[in-house]
Amino acid sequence: MKTDTKNAIAKGAGRVLAAIVIIIVLIFFFRSFYSVNEQKNAVVTQFGRVVKVNTAGFYFKVPWQSVHKVDMTTHGTGIGYVIGGNGQNITDTDNGIMITSDFNLLNIDFYLEYRVSDPVAYLYNSEDPEAILANIALANIRTVVSNYTVDEAMTTGKSQIQADIKEGMLRELASRDIGLTVLNITIQDSAPPTGDIIAAFKSVETAKQGADTAMNNAYQYQNEKIPAAEAEADAIIQQASAKKEARIAEAEGQVARFNETYKEYQKYPLITKRRMFYEKMEEILPGLKVIITDGSTQTMLPLESFSGTGFSTGVYTPTVGE
């Protein structure tokens, strides 16, 4: 009886062990094989490091490896509009209103087609590659549209605008290496914006033109006043220099005359004194009115009233030293 019990227990333990083994084998089997369809690529990593990239097919891996599948098909998104609940396109004024080269506003919508070009870079080189792609697209759209007039952007320049935007995006995506590439970008629609936006834009432009006008007037005033002030300063400097030279020349002449007079004085002091006195009198007396009085007469008469010619009718000759 005891033997039968032991045998039953042994058989039960064997069955449990066999079941555990089978379960482990099944888990190993299911975790070791995986398939990849034609629309995706599989990036296999081991402890955070990329091991390989698989295209469509059925593959084997060890259980501690991880598989990340990336959609490689073409995707599309709108720029400048969003799709409403009724399926209608609604203008995104933050991203759809552009400024053209002739300073007009334009509501322009684009449709962007893209796909993953490098699944490893797409998974690990950025946190949100689609958001980066949208920002790159918007930046290039604004830059390119600003190089064209509003008429060109609405009519004949559409194809060239699309080509320029695509070229700029491809160049920037290659430098950023986020694993995405642009297949095509097309203009869906272009039209003038609403009246409120146009009015606001015109107000901004009016203020800008006013600021430019004020600045130009200030520059004009500066350009007029600075040359005039510089010319006036030059004239003052030249006048001062001329006066300086004249005063120096006059002083030098006076010094020379004094030196010559002094030489003569050393030779003939008395004669020189008289000559100097006569010269000074000849210089002073013609402009004087001479009145003769004895000191007690109440009425004094000028000499010229009697002679009619002033003091020049007679010569007053004092002695030397008076």
155 shares a domain with 86: yes
Q: Strands, E, within 3-94: which ranges?
A: 33-36, 40-46, 49-54, 57-60, 65-71, 75-79, 81-83, 89-91
On whether both 143 and 87 belong to a single domain, the answer is yes
Rounded percentage of the chain residues whose pLDDT exceeds 70? 74
Residue 176 pLDDT > 60: yes
* Spatial contact of 159 and 93, defined as CB atoms under 8 Å apart: no
Evaluate whether 106 touches 154 at the Cβ level (below 8 Å): yes
Q: What is the pLDDT of residue 138?
A: 92
Do 97 and 170 share a structural domain?
yes
Chain mean pLDDT for the chain? 79
Split into its structural domains, the chain has a count of: 4
- What pLDDT sits at residue 39? 93
Can you tell me the distance from the alpha carbon of 302 to that of 293, in angstroms, rounded to the nearest whole number? Answer: 9
Q: Is 83 in the same domain as 188?
A: yes
* CA–CA distance, 205 with 111 (Å, rounded to integer): 30
| Span 123-131, average pLDDT | 92
Domain with 120 in it: 75-193
Phi, psi of 23 (to 5 degrees): -65, -45
Instruction: Please write the tens of the pLDDT for every residue from 10-38.
Output: 666 666 676 676 776 666 666 678 889 99
- Given 47, 71, 95, which residue is the final one in a domain? 71
pTM above 0.75, yes or no: no
Among 71-75, 137-141, 177-181, 199-203, the range scoring the smallest mean pLDDT is 199-203
Do residues 261 and 299 both lie within one domain? no
Does 230 have pLDDT greater than 90? no
For residue 100, what is the domain's CATH number? 3.30.479.30
Both 314 and 283 in one domain: the answer is yes
298 pLDDT higher than 60:
no
Question: Average pLDDT in the 87-98 region?
Answer: 72
Residues 80 and 187 in one domain: yes
Check residue 9 and give its pLDDT.
Answer: 64
* Boundary-marking domain end, from 193, 212, 243: 193
Among the three residues 30, 53, 71, which one is the final residue of a domain in this structure? 71
279 in the same domain as 259: no
Given a contact cutoff of 8 angstroms between Cβ atoms, the answer to whether 290 and 302 are in contact is yes
Q: Is the dihedral of CA 208, 211, 213, 215 positive or negative?
A: negative
Is 159 found in the same domain as 50?
A: no
Q: Are residues 85 and 64 in the same domain?
A: no
Instruction: Tell me: do 204 and 253 sit in the same domain.
Output: yes
What local confidence, expressed as pLDDT, does residue 10 receive?
A: 63
Mean pLDDT of 93-122: 88
Q: Which is higher by pLDDT, 276 or 171? A: 171
Residue 177 shares a structural domain with residue 87: yes
